[in-house]
Structure formats: C-alpha cells, structure tokens
Amino acid sequence: MLQEGPPSPAKQHAPVRVTKAPAHVRHPAKPNQVWHLDMTEIGVLWKRIEIAAIVDGFSRKIIAMKAFGCRPTSKDLAELVESSIESGGASPSFLVTDHGSQFRSGFRASIESLGMTHVRCQVRTWQLNAKVERVFKDLKMWVRRSAMPIGVKAIQRRIDTYAKWHNRYRPHSAHGTLTPDEAEQCVHRPETVTYRQKGEIEPRIKMRRRCVRGDPRLAYPVIRVSEGRLDAA
C-alpha cells in the first residue's frame, strides 16, 4: 500500500520590490520632463540586432529608436540622447536607465554635462522603466509578424515607420485613448454629440482602414462623420 507523505509547504515567493523613486520621476506632469532609455535585442533570421529606444515618461512618445549591429557602447547611447535633444529641441530634467554596463560613470558624466540628472532603477525593480519595456514588448510582437530585412540600415527604416505609427496613431489608455503625439500637445477630445432616435438630424458615418507605408500590421482607422436631415414623414 502506498502512503502519501505530508503535503509540501507552499512555495514562498519573494515579495515584489517596489521602486522608491520620487513621484515627479515616476509620474511626470508634463512632456519632456522625464525620458526613459533602455535596450533590447531582436532576432532577424540568423542575426541579432540591438535596439536602443528613448521614451517620454509623460506622453509615452518614442523620442528615438536606433538599430545597432552590435552591442552599443556608452558613447553610442550618449550620442543618441544628445542627437534626440538637438532634433527635438527639448531637453528633459531626468533620464532613467537600468544598471547596464553602458550606464556607468562615463555615461553619467556625459548626461550631466547636458544638464540632466541620471536616475538608475533599483536592482530587481521593473516599475520605473516599465514604459520603455512596454514599447519593446509591442515592437517585438510586430517584428515576429513582419518580414524584416537583414541589413541594419533597412531595419532602421522599418523601425522608423513603427515609431511613426506608435506616436501618431496608437491610442494609450493612460491618456484616455489619446495618442502619444496628442498627449504631448495636450489635445482634448471633442465633446460628445448626442443624436436622438426621432430627431431631425442623423449622423452619417464612414470608416476606412489605412496603413502606414503599406504595412497592414500598422493600421489605423479614418472616421468621417457628416450630418443629414431626415425627411419629414
């Protein structure tokens, strides 16, 4: 006869560490106050491509996204930040990164020379840089469903297209379904128009589906609403 032993105690999971970063870094109140910088890797056939991205902490806009054929250095990433400031005409107060080897003393000195404060995430905490991690998650889902070229320059053109779609057309729940571009410009949604079932005016709605540079996976809706007067019965 088989005899069961006592049930094993439930596995104890380590508590989730919560970031201790100040609120103005975690939840910036305006665009270009906090930027997030991180790197990820994507596979294209037999090649591994490194992607570095800068995301605005308020609007979730992709400030910059660059492909590298090998692991970028501290100098490469500092130059990416500097070129983003020059092209966008705005400089953040804080730049958030993880504890990667590229983000040490040399990188910190370059960032501070640009007038920014370098904030490094706590070890084993994910919340502070989750905004750029979410961008990478969506990017990788798009890459898996797309036919990507092999060359770094060609891949750069494709991810530029993705960044354009993300900024202009992808709604974000953190801003009431505004896109990152709309959130950056503080655009307000128009007021709701009410139509009554027995009213004299009816809405005529036309919807079309368009794509950025012909990519069906980067689609966005075009909605046009006009009004027509009902004929009296």
119 compared with 16, residue with greater pLDDT? 119
CATH of domain 23-184: 3.30.420.10
Residue 68, pLDDT > 60, answer yes
Query: How confident is the model at residue 202, as a pLDDT?
Result: 77
> 174, 57 in Cβ contact below 8 A?
no
Q: How confident is the model at residue 78 (pLDDT cuts 50, 70, 90)?
A: very high
Residue 170, pLDDT > 70, answer yes
Q: How confident is the model at residue 1 (pLDDT cuts 50, 70, 90)?
A: very low
For tokens 């379904």, name the residue. Answer: 177
Give the DSSP letter of residue 135: H
Query: How confident is the model at residue 99, as a pLDDT?
Result: 87
Ranges 16-20, 69-73, 108-112, 150-154: which has the least confidence: 16-20
Q: How confident is the model at residue 122 (pLDDT cuts 50, 70, 90)?
A: confident
Q: How confident is the model at residue 138 (pLDDT cuts 50, 70, 90)?
A: very high
Helices (H) and strands (E) in the chain, counts: 6, 7
Q: How confident is the model at residue 164 (pLDDT cuts 50, 70, 90)?
A: very high
Extents of the domains making up the chain: 23-184
% pLDDT > 70, the chain:
88
Strands 117-120 and 94-97: parallel
111 compared with 15, residue with greater pLDDT? 111
CA distance 56 to 62: 7
Q: How confident is the model at residue 60 (pLDDT cuts 50, 70, 90)?
A: very high
For tokens 């491509």, name the residue. Answer: 49
Structure tokens at 42: 């994507």
Q: What is the mean pLDDT of the chain?
A: 85
195 compared with 100, residue with greater pLDDT? 100
Q: What torsion, rounded to 10 degrees, do the Cα atoms 175, 142, 169, 26 define?
A: 20
Tens digits of residue pLDDT in 83-108:
999 998 889 999 999 988 899 989 99
Q: How confident is the model at residue 67 (pLDDT cuts 50, 70, 90)?
A: very high
